[in-house]
Structure 1
Amino acid sequence: MKNKKLIVTMLMATMPLSILSGCTAETKTDLSNTQNVSNEPQSDNDATQNLQATYNSIQSADVIVVGAGGGGMSAALAAVENGAESVIIVEKMPMTGGALNTTSGTMSGAMTIIQEIDGLTEDSIESYKNDIITEGEKLGGYANEPLVEYYVNNADDMINQLWEAGLSDNQYTVDSEGRKSVFAPEHTLYSYPRSYKAKPNNPEKYKSAAHELLDELVAKEDKIKVVLNTEVVELQANEQGQVLNAIAVSNDETILFTANNGIIMATGGYAGNPELMGEFSEYGDVVITGGLATADGNGLRLMQEVGGSLHIESMGWIPTYPMGLESLEIEGTGQIATTKTQYAGGILVNTKGERFVNETDADNVAREVALEHQPEGIQYEIYTDKIGEDLVASGQGGFLTYYFQSPAFADHVITASSLEELAQKLEIPVDTFLKTVEDYNANVDAKTTDEFGRNFAETSSPFNVAINKIEGDKFYAVAIKPLAIITMGGIQVNTDMQVVDETGNAIPGLYAAGETVGGVWGRYVSSGVGVMGPIVFGDLAGENVMTNELATGYDVKPASNILSEDLFIKKNTASVDELSLTGVKDGEYNVTVDGQEGPMEIKVSFKNEVITGVEIIKHNETITIAKTALEAIPQAIVDANNVNVDNITGATLTTNRIIKSVIAAVELAKQ
């Protein structure tokens, strides 16, 4: 740990008045009374010296928010609106946004100003609620109806506020009649068009318009401070049982954040933690993760340590998307990317060469569950040029053209001049596959409904835009696996968003919002709710942390079933035991490796067997996530003259690609 640099003047500026003025032990912000600090009588000077010896810095605010995603930023804004003079958002990643960095940010709400402008005036709050609850009840799930009730009655107000704050100026994905209120076929369709796909004004910096707007609103608010690259590792309660302290680490420094009114945990879900998902999910071994590596669920454990109760049943509710393209570099990780060719006459087959589902079923859950049950969780999307052309003509060819018809993703596409050759390349039974295609083509000719319920008589939905046989001069296949990008489990809260213990009692000072809260929506989540839910409930938590009276006399006890620390062991950059530069020739060497959405090209320079430069010539990384790694890792490698450098939080894949490039350049320079 670095030498302590905290000076008395800084301490005086940031320390709660309870210490500086010698308040009694009952004062809620008296740091000398935290449970992990000695309770022996101390002078003000002794307390100051003890804190100086323990922490590199101490920062105090009315409200501490842990997590700068949609829920955290919304909570901070609401706290200020309800009287907070100071709010600190603590974020372990090098940027705000959380999960909004990985999604286009579809929003939803009923009876909104957007629907009104579109002339869609027949929606209702009750219909919205019923759609959400029906989706959540699939396969034995159940929603928290009081929280869903609050959400549906406030989502429209939040949409309208965001519209007035700037979303009205954004471009939107529109339907055939130019309306911004649309159906979202990546989810089970609502009974009425109420999804909104706003595009960010600055797509190089933001992936979702919601993130962009919230970031701007937070930046404009002088009373909100955002602290990045800082991870909260412990929550502390004082003698009154009030959870008002959060201990965090940043690089080699330890920071104490202390709140006057409360702490809001908006730490997200655990879709980036395969070990934790596998602990509760029956099909965890075949699911790949598309969540940020920082979406590890560790915030749940921190809340359990001060008594927070997990909603255990929902921990295994991990909806998957049947559109996961697995990384060729990092097994078990991937991204949303599907050809969608099954909607235009293509088929899905498993590793046995057999179809297993109605590929055009409007119920996403049916297709999701069917894929989870397949051997190794693999489906091959089989299509032809004609099928691809019809899909593009329907307006649904975005994924196909952007990804699979580009050189960047060529390694994911298996191409053959015959069905026999395709089966051989896929290593699936040839005869079975040929019979599968033969039977499928016969159903197309008969214009009937097959054994899976696929209708070949007419094109009637966004999931069935063209009818084609599997025939042609070329045949294509792409392997797809179940992808998890959101989790439904988490901590339990009451209707004020206060974290509750195993007896249902609220823990004073501790609130939660967003994906870290469990059991809200049921087993599956509806379109736009994954974005708007955290924003709406973050707003509620921010209001209540300022308006609720801070209770006293609570006895803090750890939960009885705290998640094992082993589930949170971080897997950082690939370590290289020894990178020998002996024999490396002077010069500049260009190396190309696979990147996030296309090749990454890097130039590495050597002189006198020393790495003198690492320059990224071009890349196709997701800039909202990778920016810090792209800027910091090359220089870190040069400074260390080695590739064993610290990982950039949230950008592990980008870091590994840069390291892989440098290793390849070393080998090239030795030739």
Structure 2
Amino acid sequence: MFSPFTLPNGTELKNRLLMAPMTTCTGYFDGTVSSELVEYYRARAGSIGTIVVECCFIDDLGLAFPGAIGIDNDEKIAGLAKIAEAIKAKGSKAILQIYHGGRMVEPKLIGGRTPVAPSAVAAPRDGAATPTALTTEEVVGMVNKFGEGVRRAIQAGFDGVEIHGANTYLIQQFYSPHSNRRDDEWGGSRDNRAKFPLAVLEITHQMVRQHADDAFIIGYRFSPEEMEVPGIRFDDTLYLLEKLAARGLDYLHFSVGYSLRSSIVETTDPTPLIDKYVAMRSDTLAQIPVMGVGGVANAADVEQAMEHGYDLVAVGRACIAYPDWSDRIASGENLELFIDSTQREEKNIPEPLWRFSLVEAMIRDMSMAAAKFKPGTFIEKVQDEDNELVISVSLETDRIAAIELTDGPEDDVSFVTSFQEIRGRILDANSPHVDAISGATSQSEAVKKAVSKAMVKSSKALVVEEGGNPAVPQDFDVVVIGSGGAGLTAAIQAHDEGARVLIVEKMPSIGGNTIKASAGMNAAETRFQRVKGINDSKELFYAETLKGGRNKNNAALLHRFVENAPMAIEWLADRGIMLNDITTTGGMSIDRTHRPRDGSAVGGYLISGLVRNIAKREIGVMLDTSVTGILMEQGEVCGVSVLNDENEQQTIRTKSIIVATGGFSANSQMVVKYRPDLAGFVTTNHKGATGGGIALLEQIGAGTVDMGEIQIHPTVEQKTSYLISESIRGGGAILVNQQGNRFYNEMETRDKVSAQIIALPEKYAYIVFDENVRTKNKAADEYIAKGFVVSAASPRELADKLGMDRHHFLATLERYNGFVEQQHDEEFGRKTAMRNPVKEGPFYAIQIAPGVHHTMGGVTVNTETAVLDNQRQIIPGAYAAGEVVGGIHGGNRIGGNAVADIIIFGTLAGHQAASRAKR
């Protein structure tokens, strides 16, 4: 495997090992290359012979992944050249894979536009969009785009290209009788269907002749079979490969999940497909080296693949886990596929790749290695949205051994697929605290709940077996009530200061209301602002928050909030949670709303990162468990009483509690008690936001403040109560009424904008934005995917679809765009987020109206987060953080301040509670 290998064009590879092309999702929003991606490839180059760089889209309708990198225009050459240079400088060959996703592209990745394909036939998967069939002229144009991609790869300095004709992407779609139903020269017979991949290979040769030398490598990746009927079968593949080989290739890349995989069509035949291939290929085809991929971690895997006929072997996940993989193999190491969760930076793994499911599954020291179970199998009944599930959970002394579905919709392919994925995440992490599967959240949470219940039962059984009594109160330094952002932050901080911590959560899943947060986290004078040249001050941040809160904010709490905000940004960064993109929200005059680099909603990203930190520290979490009372002894907190979903009562002793249970926006009776005018309003909050923590603290004498200060958010999709992020307006969107006119300054505070919408005769408005705003705000793609968005190629068409006066709407856009050019809104005085004119099609609109969003009132605390009684005296041992606390935001919360609140005061509460426990 380490001997040199010569390709048909005479190019010598220094060994037979290649790093497989693996999507990292680390490109910028426009498909350009990030420095993080360059360093990722640099770290893996050197002893491995060749690196095949992840697939690069050749057309802006062709990206099949978020964070994909592109080669669709000449501006991309410079960034790609950095990758090629980094790889080659370390002595490895650099090959770039090029592709177009075709019908496998999700509309949300291309701004809600319709994907293109050979024919208007949707992919056989749930929710797949029906693509637009390419015209004959467009097919020719697409071949040329592949050619231009090859030219750019050459100019970027790559040693070769790999044409991606696999994984049901566009090239394969042309050859497949399922996706290609054309009746012109590009479809119909097998020969006609083969014309597109052959044309792509031909133009690749043309570009190499014109722009490269004879050493330039041309590879072709293929999938040997399709499950679809009609679909590609193995003899079809051999037929195409013979034609490709006759025209000249330097290698073929077998695309299978496991290098020795057998047929997915003839399931009774166990013969590996590579064995069939070697036996059936012609002498011509036998001259083309063939590369295998999948299931390769150690030398024995490579040797086995080569024994079956592979000339070259590509290594995937092992190269992520071990950047120096080939050095380790050469020295005789036997490797296990796992990644220490503290080594992301050391291994140069980009953050988006770190969160990718295949990589996340390898993060092993997130495990509950300290947990001790009584070995056995536990059968748990749980409920998702649609089904009762019976799940078998097998536990060994220190790990989750197996998870099986014993009763449920086993004939539902989509359900089984997502079950297998969530099962894999839990088993690989050895913890139920993993991210849910996108699109299958309810099912994921049900499976996680089943595993958690089994673990609790097993732990109790072990205590009994060892002669203990599980009813004896457990003892912790700190008990955190609530698992939203404030609770998780407080738990991590307390743990890091040496405290034994337990989290108690009444809901069946972690995340609270934080997981729904969208805009970002406000902070002034941060290093991320300095990097972007944003000149901000804490004094201005204080003044604007006080003004936004109608001067009702608790001044001492607000000063602490503003002072600690940049430290909170760094606290997150130190724990691998980077909020390094910046936008603005209503009420702010400057960009200070920090969010994930890709512009996505902050909530899911934040909770995912905090949960990773919770699991890494092995902090205990009790789900589906309500705190029924806070126990006091001699005037101080001494414990809590809890009730789990099995109706078991338990006492937990503790030296300190941190109440982080959120607000009460989802408790309509409580909302109406303090604000009768809000009867009938929808809420953006999750159903657990019922004010239970306030009631618990009131029972031990806590005082409250500002309970009637309840915020409604102006932009809520009413059918689903889904919040439309302020970052959309912060990105440059406008609000118009049903007549097509702007009616207020969109970037005013939430209370004022909401009041103006309520004052409209129709009681709703539209948030309108263009393609420029969409590309810079990932949340917009989510709204498109959820069906909230009306889109149109032109403003005139959008007005017609919305039933508004097109003349008013066109005049509104013209007038507003003029204000943007002048950077002066003569009509409503908007001063921020006038970034670009709204003029780049497509155009988008979402109908919105206000909804109950945040309760500014809550229990009283001091600047150290200690809970105060009605006489403003400290209740010893009781701390609180997050929306359960009142006073910080005054009469109105500024967008982006809630996330800052939970991190700032969560860390303070964790510190104070741990310090008290030590004392």
TM-score (norm 1): 0.58
Residue 593 of structure 2 aligns with which residue?
Answer: 195
The structure having more radius of gyration, on CA atoms, is 2
Say if 1:412 and 1:479, in contact at 8 Å, map to a contact too: no
Between the two proteins, the alignment pairs up a number of residues equal to 460
Say if 1:324 and 1:335, in contact at 8 Å, map to a contact too: yes
User: Which secondary structure does the structure 2 equivalent of 1:315 belong to?
Assistant: coil
Alpha-carbon distance change, 454 to 160 in structure 1, aligned in 2, over 3 angstroms: closer
Say if 1:105 and 1:208, in contact at 8 Å, map to a contact too: no
Say if 1:132 and 1:526, in contact at 8 Å, map to a contact too: yes
Say if 1:63 and 1:259, in contact at 8 Å, map to a contact too: no
Alpha-carbon distance change, 500 to 11 in structure 1, aligned in 2, over 3 angstroms: farther
Residue 131 of structure 1 aligns with which residue?
Answer: 544
Residue 871 of structure 2 aligns with which residue?
Answer: 503
Residue 501 of structure 1: how far off its partner (Å): 1.6
Q: Residues 398-409 of structure 1 correspond to what in structure 2 (within 5 A)?
A: 398=777, 402=781, 408-409=787-788
Say if 1:349 and 1:379, in contact at 8 Å, map to a contact too: yes
- 1:220 correspondence with 2:619: no
Residue 639 of structure 2 aligns with which residue?
Answer: 245
Say if 1:73 and 1:215, in contact at 8 Å, map to a contact too: yes
Residue 59 of structure 1 aligns with which residue?
Answer: 474
Q: Residues 90-239 of structure 1 correspond to what in structure 2 (within 5 A)?
A: 90-104=504-518, 106-120=520-534, 122-137=535-550, 141-167=551-577, 170=578, 180=580, 182-185=582-585, 187-191=586-590, 193-198=591-596, 207-222=603-618, 224-238=619-633
Q: Identity over aligned residues, as a percent?
A: 24
- The residue identity in structure 2 corresponding to 1:317 is E
Say if 1:343 and 1:359, in contact at 8 Å, map to a contact too: no
- The residue identity in structure 1 corresponding to 2:710 is I
Gapped runs of 5+ residues in structure 1?
A: 16-51, 173-179, 426-432, 552-671
Residue 666 of structure 1 aligns with which residue?
Answer: none
Greater length-normalized contact order (CA 8 Å, ≥ 6 residues apart): 1
Q: Residues 281-360 of structure 1 correspond to what in structure 2 (within 5 A)?
A: 281=675, 283-285=677-679, 287-311=681-705, 314-327=706-719, 333-336=721-724, 348-349=736-737, 357-358=743-744, 360=746
TM-score (norm 2): 0.43
Q: Distance in 2 between matches of 1:227 and 1:438?
A: 53
Residue 82 of structure 1 aligns with which residue?
Answer: 497
Alpha-carbon distance change, 212 to 263 in structure 1, aligned in 2, over 3 angstroms: same
Q: Please give the per-residue CA displacement for 1:345-381, whole angstroms capped at 9, x wherever unaligned.
A: 976336xx69683254555543222124446743355
Q: Distance in 2 between matches of 1:200 and 1:448?
A: 28
- 1:462 correspondence with 2:843: no
- The residue identity in structure 2 corresponding to 1:349 is N
Q: Please give the per-residue CA displacement for 1:438-463, whole angstroms capped at 9, x wherever unaligned.
A: 996699499899xxx96379997525
Q: Please give the per-residue CA displacement for 1:582-612, whole angstroms capped at 9, x wherever unaligned.
A: xxxxxxxxxxxxxxxxxxxxxxxxxxxxxxx
Residue 545 of structure 1: how far off its partner (Å): 2.2
Q: Residues 473-512 of structure 1 correspond to what in structure 2 (within 5 A)?
A: 478-512=846-880
Q: Distance in 1 between matches of 2:466 and 2:494?
A: 22
- The residue identity in structure 1 corresponding to 2:645 is N
Say if 1:343 and 1:466, in contact at 8 Å, map to a contact too: no
Q: Distance in 2 between matches of 1:535 and 1:317?
A: 22
Say if 2:790 and 2:844, in contact at 8 Å, map to a contact too: no
- The residue identity in structure 2 corresponding to 1:225 is G
Could you say what the CA RMSD is over the residues aligned between the two structures, in angstroms? 4.8
Q: Distance in 2 between matches of 1:157 and 1:8?
A: 44
Residue 340 of structure 1: how far off its partner (Å): 6.3
Q: Distance in 1 between matches of 2:566 and 2:482?
A: 24
Q: Distance in 2 between matches of 1:536 and 1:410?
A: 35
Q: Please give the per-residue CA displacement for 1:85-107, whole angstroms capped at 9, x wherever unaligned.
A: x1111112233222221124612
Say if 1:65 and 1:75, in contact at 8 Å, map to a contact too: yes
Q: Please give the per-residue CA displacement for 1:164-183, whole angstroms capped at 9, x wherever unaligned.
A: 3323xx5x6xxxxxxx4533
Q: Distance in 2 between matches of 1:458 and 1:516?
A: 35
Say if 1:199 and 1:208, in contact at 8 Å, map to a contact too: no
Say if 1:57 and 1:254, in contact at 8 Å, map to a contact too: no
Q: Residues 378-417 of structure 1 correspond to what in structure 2 (within 5 A)?
A: 378-380=764-766, 391-393=770-772, 398=777, 402=781, 408-409=787-788
Alpha-carbon distance change, 64 to 340 in structure 1, aligned in 2, over 3 angstroms: closer
Residue 371 of structure 1 aligns with which residue?
Answer: 757
Alpha-carbon distance change, 61 to 13 in structure 1, aligned in 2, over 3 angstroms: farther
Residue 71 of structure 1 aligns with which residue?
Answer: 486
User: Which secondary structure does the structure 1 equivalent of 2:693 belong to?
Assistant: helix
Q: Please give the per-residue CA displacement for 1:554-582, whole angstroms capped at 9, x wherever unaligned.
A: xxxxxxxxxxxxxxxxxxxxxxxxxxxxx
Say if 2:589 and 2:831, in contact at 8 Å, map to a contact too: no
Residue 265 of structure 1: how far off its partner (Å): 0.6
User: Which secondary structure does the structure 2 equivalent of 1:486 belong to?
Assistant: strand
Say if 2:526 and 2:566, in contact at 8 Å, map to a contact too: yes
- The residue identity in structure 1 corresponding to 2:719 is S
Residue 117 of structure 1: how far off its partner (Å): 3.4
Alpha-carbon distance change, 97 to 181 in structure 1, aligned in 2, over 3 angstroms: same
Q: Residues 509-524 of structure 1 correspond to what in structure 2 (within 5 A)?
A: 509-524=877-892
- The residue identity in structure 1 corresponding to 2:722 is G
Residue 338 of structure 1: how far off its partner (Å): 8.9
Alpha-carbon distance change, 218 to 158 in structure 1, aligned in 2, over 3 angstroms: same
Q: Distance in 1 between matches of 2:915 and 2:497?
A: 7
Q: Distance in 2 between matches of 1:218 and 1:232?
A: 20
- 1:531 correspondence with 2:865: no
Say if 1:325 and 1:337, in contact at 8 Å, map to a contact too: no
